[in-house]
């Protein structure tokens, strides 16, 4: 038995189902978190009320994830898809970041499905966990949609 957990951002898998992943590991089941949207640019990004350099955010996210997977004895892979506000300027508006998936994101979804299928071919998982995208964040919705496509071949 092997588990793959699709995590839109570095912290999503740990925050949403870290306890479940730990239970799998304690039972001896290998778990690999596939982090999807993890790349930023070095440009200045303003997010009210905070302002930060995307480059430092990128480093902090990676370091937090490294510590969490070490603590829980998990494996991880990074697909390095560009974070939504850096992928397309339309996502710098909260309304668009939380809105419906635009049609042109189908290419992103298809690419993601192919990348996860390659990983699944290597790991042969018995289960792939994907986010429900309850908060409607565009990156979460894209990963959710990829999970729905993947379920045709994987539980």
In tens, the pLDDT along 92-139 reads: 888 889 988 999 999 999 999 999 999 999 999 999 999 999 889 999
> What tokens does 78 get?
């990074």
- 8 touches 140 (CB < 8 A): yes
> What tokens does 58 get?
């990128």
pTM, two decimals, is 0.88
In tens, the pLDDT along 50-64 reads: 455 555 667 788 888
What are the chain's domains? 3-150 (3.40.50.10320)
Residue carrying the six token digits 């480093």 = 59
Other beta carbons within 10 Å of 151 = 11
């Amino acid at each position: 038995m092997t588990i793959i957990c699709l995590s839109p951002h570095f912290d999503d898998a740990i925050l949403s189902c870290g306890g479940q992943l730990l239970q799998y590991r304690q039972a001896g089941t290998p778990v690999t978190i596939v982090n999807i949207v993890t790349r930023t640019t070095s440009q200045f990004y303003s997010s009210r009320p905070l302002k930060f350099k995307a480059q430092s955010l990128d480093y902090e996210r990676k370091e937090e994830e490294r510590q969490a997977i070490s603590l829980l004895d998990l494996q991880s892979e990074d697909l390095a898809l560009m974070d939504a506000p850096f992928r397309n300027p339309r996502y710098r508006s909260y309304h668009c970041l939380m809105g419906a998936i635009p049609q042109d994101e189908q290419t992103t979804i298809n690419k993601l499905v192919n990348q996860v299928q390659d990983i699944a071919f290597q790991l042969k998982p018995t289960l792939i966990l994907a986010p429900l995208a309850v908060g409607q964040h565009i990156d979460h919705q894209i990963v959710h949609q990829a999970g729905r496509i993947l379920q045709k071949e994987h539980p």
